[in-house]
Chain A
Amino acid sequence: MPTPRPKVGLFVTCLADMFRPEVAFASVKLLELAGFDVEVPQRQTCCGQPAFNSGDREDSAAIARQTIDAFDGFEYVVGPSGSCIGMLHHYPELFAENDPWHRRALELKARAFEITSFLALHLDMDKLSSSFNGKVTYHDSCSGLRELGVKKQPRELLSKLPGVQICEMEEAETCCGFGGTFCVKYPEISNRMVGNKSENIRATGADTLLGGDLGCLLNMAGKLKREGINVEARHVVEVLADMLDTPAIGEASSVGKAGKGA
C-alpha cells in the first residue's frame, strides 16, 4: 500500500474565488505536483483582514475561529496570497494567551504558508515546466514580503522556466497603493501610488507583470489598462502551473467566456 500523501487545505482567498478561479486551480495543480493531496474546506470564507484592519476585533476573532475550525486536521494550509496568509499569522493576536483559541491560532499559524514559499520548500523544481515565453517583472506584495519573507522564492521558481526572463523594476518593494479598503478610503493617494508603480512597470519593458497577491494585481492591472500601458498582469502560479489559456487580468476574452453560463 502506498503511503498516504500529506493533506493540504487550500485557502482559496476571496479574490481568487471571485475574480480569478484559475489562480486557485493552478495552486491545486502545483500542490499536487509537489506530492500533496489537496482539499478545499467548504467552511472557509475570508481571512477577516478587512475587519481586522478596520479595528473590528470582534468580527475578526469570529472569522478567525471559523477559519481555524475549517482547517482543523490538515497538515498544511496553503493560499495564493501573502496578504491573506499573513492575516492567518495575525490570528494569535486576536485571543488572550489563556484562551484555548490562542493555542489553536498558534498551531494554525505554524501550518499556514503562502504558496510560493511553500512550493520553494516542497516542490522538486525540476518538475516545473511552462510554455510561457517572455519578459516578466515581479511586484513584491507588502504583506508577503515583510510579514512572511517572500522575496526570492517566486524568483527561484520562475528561474526554472527557460522561457521566463525577469527584468526587475525600480521600487519593486514599494507598495502599489491597494491596501485593502485604503484604495477606496483614500482613492487619490492610492492612485498616486499605483501611478508610480505602473510607470516603474512600464519602464522595464517587460510584457508581463507577475505577483503573488490578487489585490495588488487587480489594482495594478486596472491602472495599466486605464493608462493604456501594454503590459499583461498574471498571478505567478498561472505561469508556474502553465495555465495560460485564460486571458490575463482585465484582458478582453476572445471567445466570450464570461457569457458561459452561471
Chain B
Amino acid sequence: MEVRSKEFKKSAHIALHDVNLQRALGNLKAGFPGKRAAAVARLPEFDALRDQARDLKNHILEHLDLYLEEFERNVTANGGTVHWCRTAEDARRTILELCREQDAKTVTKGKSMVTEEIALNEYLEANGVTPVETDLGEYILQLRHDHPSHIVAPAIHLTLDDVATAFHEHHHRPKSNDPAVLMQEAREMLRKQFVAADVGITGANFLVAETGSTIICTNEGNGDLTQTLPKTHIVVSSIEKVVPTLEDMTLFLRLLARSATGQEFTVYNTLSTGPRRPGDRDGPENFHVVLVDNGRSDMVGGELQEMLRCIRCSACMNHCPVYGAVGGHSYGWVYPGPMGSVLTPQMVGIENAGLLPNASTFCGKCEEVCPVRIPLPKLMRHWREREWEKHLTPAAARGGIGVWAFFAKRPALYRLLAWSSNLFLRLVGGKRGRIRKLPLAGGWTDFRDMPVPSGKTFMQQWQEQKR
C-alpha cells in the first residue's frame, strides 16, 4: 500500500469537509466509547486485569524468542508448519509459494490487518491468485478497491448507500438499501467462494505457545468457514501475538472484546490447532503459520517495546478526538489513530510519517483506555524527539522553538519578551478585549478570537506592589 502519510494535512482537510465521512465518524463516536464504558462498568476488576495484561505482555516481550520457539515446536508436533519471515516481502513470497503448492486459483481471507501491512492482496492478484475477502466490511472494501480506515470496523467510513451502490454494480442485482437484503446478497456471493477456495488465509488474535494454537475472534463466523473448508489454512500473524498459555489467552480475550466493541466476549472465538487429524470430521489438510517480523524485533529492547503490547482492539482510535475528526484514511497508511501514529513511523520511516506523531494534543485519552496500558503519548513524543535529532522537524517549528527557548533560558530577557508581547497585544486589542485578526497568527485567528491580556504582566505588577 502506498504511503500517503506526508499528505496528512491535505487529507485531513478533505476529510473535515466530507459530509458522509463526518456522519460516519459521528456514528463511531456515538457507538464504541459508550459501549466500552458500559462493559467496563460491569466488570469491577477491569483495571486490575489491565495491570495483569500489561505485566504479562512485558514478560512475554522479555522472553519473546522462547515463547515463539515453544509455539513453533507445538505447531510442528501438531503436524503444522511455521514459516519465519523477517520482511513483508519474505512473507508475501512464502504465502504465494504455499498457494502455488496447492495450485490455488482463489483464496478466501478472514479479516487481517497484518495482510494489509504486507500488502498481500495486491501481490497475490499480480501473481494470478485471486484473494476474496470474507469479512463483510473487508468484502465491501475489496469491491470498491478501497482500504480499511479502522482496524476493527474497516468500512466505518462508508454509508449504507455506498455499500448498496457497490453491491448493485458488482452483483448485477437491483439496488437495495435494506441492510438485511444486502447481508443476504453478500452471504450468497461468499458462500460459493468459501466452497470453491483452495486456500483459506486468516490472521490471528493470539498464538498460544503451550498448545501451538492460533485463535481468531470474529463476530460474523466468516473466519471459521475460511479456515475449515479449504484444503489449506494459512495463518498470518505478527510475532508479538504469542501468549504462553490458554489461560493467559483468556485474560486478553476478556480485555479485547470489551475494549474494542464493548461486548463481554466476541461472538466467535475459534482456535486452530494443527491440521485435520485422523477421525476429525472437518478441518484443513495443511496448516501453516506465517510469522511476520517486519521491523518488530527491532522494537524489542528499545524505547518502542511497549508498543508491542498492542492487542489491536482499536480503543485508542475510537476515543481519539483527532481520529474522530479526520477518520482513518487521513493517516495515509495501514494503521490509523494513536497506535498507528506510533507504528507507522517505525514501519515506513519517520521521514515519511512525521506528521502522524505530531497530530496529537497529547490529551492522553488513548492511554487512559488502552487495555494494556501503552503510554501512547510518550511513544509519539519519542518520534518527535527522533525527528528533532534528525532535523526533520519543519523549519518554522524548529526555528520558533529555538528562538523561544533562547528567551526561556534567560529569565531577564524572558520578562522583556513577556512584557513586550503583552504590551503589543493590548495596543492592538485596545478595549475590545479580543482580536479578530492577527498577522502571523492565522492558525489561531482564522477560527477563533485572540483574547487580549487583561492588564500588565503579573511579574511587572508583582514587582510594583512589592515596592
Contact = CB atoms under 8 A, between A and B. Distances in A.
B450 interface: yes
A185 interface: yes
Given A194-B448, A252-B431, A246 B361 contact: no
B349 to A, nearest CB: 16
Contacts of B398: 54
Contacts of A259: 426, 430-431
B358 A146 contact: no
Contact of A221 (B325, B429, B451, B455): B451
A182 B361 contact: yes
B224 interface: no
Given A53-B384, A250-B434, A258 B429 contact: yes
A35 interface: no
A38 to B, nearest CB: 10
Contacts of B431: 252-253, 256-259
Nearest to A189: B325
Q: How large is the interface on A (under 10, 10 to 19, 20 to 34, 35 or more residues)?
A: 35 or more
Interface stretch (B8-16, B148-156, B175-183, B261-269): B8-16
B97 interface: no
B460 to A, nearest CB: 8
Chain B interface main SS type? helix
Contacts of B418: 14, 17-18
Chain A interface main SS type? helix
Contact of B448 (A43, A191, A258): A191
Interface stretch (A20-28, A104-112, A120-128, A160-168): A20-28
Nearest to A54: B401
B426 A250 contact: no
Interface in B356-398: 358-365, 367-368, 381, 383-389, 393, 397-398
Given A21-B457, A257-B454, A226 B393 contact: no
Interface in A192-247: 192-194, 196, 218-219, 221-223, 225-226, 246-247
Most chain B CB within a 10 A radius of its CB, from A66, A192, A246, A249? A192
Contacts of B457: 17-18, 21
Nearest to A257: B455
Contacts of A177: 321, 361
B444 A184 contact: yes
B407 A250 contact: no
Contacts of A262: 419, 423, 426, 456
Contacts of A59: 401-402, 405, 408-409
A181 B407 contact: no
B433 A54 contact: no
B448 A186 contact: no
Contacts of A45: 407-411, 414
A188 B13 contact: yes
Interface residues of B, number: 72
Contact of B458 (A24, A56, A246, A250): A24
A63 B407 CA distance: 10
Contacts of B436: 226
Interface in B436-461: 436, 441-444, 446-459, 461
A250 B363 CA distance: 24
A142 B361 contact: yes
A261 interface: yes
A132 interface: no
A54 B384 contact: yes
B326 interface: yes
A156 B198 CA distance: 66
Contact of B387 (A14, A44, A55, A194): A55
B129 interface: no
A17 B458 contact: yes
B409 A66 contact: yes
Interface string B412-424: 0010001101110
Most chain A CB within a 10 A radius of its CB, from B398, B429, B431? B431
B408 A44 contact: no
Contacts of A76: none
A52 B385 CA distance: 9
Contacts of A17: 418, 457-459
A172 interface: no
Given A43-B411, A56-B401, A186-B12, A249 B451 contact: yes
Interface in A35-81: 40, 42-46, 48, 50-57, 59, 62-63, 66, 70
Given A177-B361, A218-B451, A54 B408 contact: no
A23 to B, nearest CB: 8
A185 B16 contact: no
Most chain B CB within a 10 A radius of its CB, from A24, A54, A55, A225? A55
A223 B363 contact: no
Contacts of B321: 174-175, 177, 193, 196
Interface string A83-117: 00000000000000000000000000000000000
B12 A51 contact: no
Interface in B49-99: none
26 contacts: A20-B454, A21-B458, A25-B461, A40-B459, A40-B462, A50-B401, A51-B401, A53-B381, A55-B387, A59-B408, A63-B409, A146-B367, A175-B321, A175-B361, A178-B361, A181-B397, A187-B447, A191-B447, A223-B447, A225-B448, A250-B451, A252-B433, A252-B434, A257-B454, A258-B454, A260-B455
Query: Across chains A and B, which 8 residue pairs bring their CB atoms closest together, nearest first?
Result: A179-B361, A55-B384, A222-B448, A55-B388, A184-B443, A175-B363, A21-B458, A250-B451
